[in-house]
Structure 1
Amino acid sequence: MQIFTATLGTFSSLPFLPHLSAGDASCIPPIFSPLVNPTNFSKYTPKFPTNKLSYYTAKVSVSGNANTETSVSGVLENSSDSLSPEAIRQARRSADWEAAKASSDSGLIYDVRVEGFNGGGLLVRFHSLVGFLPFPQLSPLHSCKEPNKYIQDIAKGLVGSLVPVKVIQADEDKRKLIFSEKEAAWSRFSEQVNVGDIFEGRVGSVEDYGAFVHLCFPDGLYHLTGLVHVSEVSWDLVQDVRDVLLEGDQVRVKVISIDREKSRITLSIKQLEEDPLLETLDKVIPKDGSVPSDSFNSSTSNKIEPLPGLETILQELLQEDGIDDARISRQGFEKRVVSQDLQLWLSNAPPTNQRFTLLARAGRQVQEIHLITSLDQGGIKRALQRVLERVP
């Protein structure tokens, strides 16, 4: 992707002010100064030379897959009469609006200079126009580099610098020119991300539905952001993401899906941890002598009272295709209480002769469950997950 630079060089503060008045107030709020009344820019008219002007051209090169190049030009023809400063400004702005529209359609990346900021974002220079870069459209690069700074302080430090952006809205009628640094970062760095990749990340914000995590790239900088859905935070049931993750936390995440059309990355934390449903029975009831030899007894299932909630789960398992029988075979007691909640595990061993083992535990009590099934290990796991979703 070719990167273009759009700057006008240096200019005084007074000519800058009339360009602000051309913008929509909802899009480009003015910079307030004690020396200037921001609601009246008309008297601050820049001085232009009165000699004849041959032409003015604003050209934008668009590089695409076909290596084609298009240009948008606004030309003022030679005239026997001198052009007024206002006519020059209008022609210049009109040509630059065309350039902005062409950039929006083609997905160009521009380096724009930050002119100032307000409560909502940065004011940036695009040729003779001033556009708006909202704070939510900034790359995570800035906040992760200075995590202890408020966004206004970060913005103040960006004034005068060049920022790579894409035009995401160019509406001349409404005077809205909106830029995104996030979209530019996506174009530059998303090809380096693949499903299955593991990143070090920093939690940026936490919502009810999940946490947004900024991804650290090999250069040590944070360029892209992905979402860890609440269901991918932990193998345990998470009621409130904020109980597990807080803004600024350092985490390791795995990329589990990428939507390149919508510029979205989906991440998982729990998939970097061992699935507790695949714990071996030996991890729960070790065979190294640490558990008394009578920790399991040979009582038949009709003499064993199922753990609270287990009987409903067994009944639901029998409704699953491929599971012919599910019953408690024996029970035992651990030395200590791990959790009072009912927990279930699958054996790591595959089914043998259509027999498979589950383990249920609550408090110190452990019950072993035998399944008669034609399913493989993966099918049993999916069946159990469906059952757990149905059982309150």
Structure 2
Amino acid sequence: EETIQLAQQFVEARTWVPASVMGHNAGGLLVRSEEEGLYGFLPLSQMSPGLRLWLANLEKEEELRRAKPDAAAAKGEGEEQEGDAKRAVRLAALAAIVGEQIFVRLLSVDATSGRMVMTCVEEEAHPEDEENLRQAKRRVVSSLTEGDVMEASVTNVAPFGAFCQVAGLDAMVHISEITYRRLSHPGEVLSVGDRVKAVVTNVDPAALRVALSIKRLQKDPLLETLDELVAASESGVVAAVEGNIPLVDDVCRMLVRGGEVEAAVPGQRVRSSSVSKEFQLFLSTESANGFKLVARHLDTMQEVNVTTSMPREELKVAVAGIIAKLAKDTSVVQP
């Protein structure tokens, strides 16, 4: 009885709460708010437009999967009737949302059975719904910081990136933050329903949105030496490129001019699968006489051999100072 009274208070207050999807059936989702101790059913008819779009995208992915020859063969002799097939697709799509976090509002509670019905829909007749929902999301946003590593679910794929849900919030992974290799479309490596590990790169409290990066949790091939690429270029497997990357000569001159670097000599320039529209410069590994820098521009990479007795941290400071000077005339990335 106490639980029912508490639930009725939530109904009257139109309070939005974060909830975890615990299960599903053909009619909707079973959700639980651990924070408030509420457990109820979210019917398909009470799903928000964003959640319905996510579900529709998951159904398309499931239909495509079932249309593949290997999936069709796995069905065996008994072919599904059209109605059964649609039901199976819907159930598979709903199952893919289990474990996710969404925001819900308690719509009704049965005083006899205690059965609770949830909703994700903001009603125009109640403008306070929008503000109440924003407040609930703000509480979650305020708990996120840049650098947090989280699991995100892909809800849609567009030419410029992937839309995701993370902790019940809208998130975006720009195409440039998916992988280090060149992509024509995010769909080459991501599909709706994929769950990926990503790092938070930006939190926008005003828009209640989060920017994510998948590739920053991967090992950047650029941070390794170019020994393998140079060897491959010498054997003809990878194409060598004549001349130096723009700004590499400037970097070498400025390093030597500082007085603590005895020599800075550009190495071989080779083609790479990594691509950058901007000039990028990284401090890579130690060498016998100092360190190696790696420059990247467009689809080429080049090593710079630096002869110096400077400690690594001091060289990083020196390189950062050079980058700061070059940044006035060109776009660069700090090491």
Normalising to structure 2: TM-score of the pair?
Answer: 0.46
For the pair shown, which has the larger CA radius of gyration, 1 or 2?
A: 1
Could you state the TM-score of these two structures normalised by the residue count of structure 1?
A: 0.41
In proportion to residue count, which structure has more strand? 2
More relative contact order, 1 or 2 (CA 8 Å, 6+ apart) = 2
